[in-house]
Amino acid sequence: MDDYSLLDLFWTMLWFFLWVMWLFLLFKVITDIFRSHDLSGWGKAGWLILTLLLPYIGVLIYVIVRGKSMSRRDIKEAQDRDAAFKAYVREAAGTSDTAGADATRKGSHVDDLARLAELRDRGAVTEEEYQRAKTKLLA
């Protein structure tokens, strides 16, 4: 260990970091190949073979050729996930605008409780009246 200098340690860590970074990029490219809807099956197979047989050059070529569409797909997927999450939260909270009677009933409970709390806060309803109305709404 005496003949392993600090500079050698630095270079080893640098190469290890670059190798790990390249692995992340390789997996990102492979997932993008399969996620891409504008590529045919043969196109996907060709890109996959290129990235697996010539890994460094294949990944570099893929990023150069399809990097812009890769970022567009990432943005679209993030927007789709966000929209799905917001729809789930609306459904779980009961404030969905769907035509179903259950969703409308849940939304009215939430809205009624909010209005009731607002009336209590303004002093238009006493605490006893608030508790009775709340019990009736939740029953």
> Does residue 134 sit in the same domain as residue 102?
yes
With tokens 């009736």, the residue in question is 136
The SS3 of residue 28 is: helix
> Does residue 9 sit in the same domain as residue 25?
yes
Six token digits for residue 9: 């340690």
pLDDT digits (tens, 9 = 90+) for 52-62: 999 889 999 99
pTM (two decimals):
0.56
Six token digits for residue 123: 């002093």
> Does residue 1 sit in the same domain as residue 69?
yes
Mean per-residue pLDDT over the chain, rounded: 84
> Does residue 104 sit in the same domain as residue 84?
no
Rg of the chain, C-alpha, whole Å: 29
> Does residue 81 sit in the same domain as residue 106?
no
- Count of domains observed in the chain: 2
pLDDT digits (tens, 9 = 90+) for 28-45: 999 999 999 889 999 999
Mean per-residue pLDDT for 108-124? 81
Domain extent at residue 17 = 1-93
Task: Tell me how many degrees the CA angle 89-95-98 measures, rounded to the nearest 5.
Answer: 100
- Is residue 87 very low, low, confident or very high in pLDDT (cuts 50, 70, 90)? confident
> Does residue 43 sit in the same domain as residue 103?
no
pLDDT at 18: 93
> Does residue 56 sit in the same domain as residue 103?
no
> Does residue 85 sit in the same domain as residue 108?
no
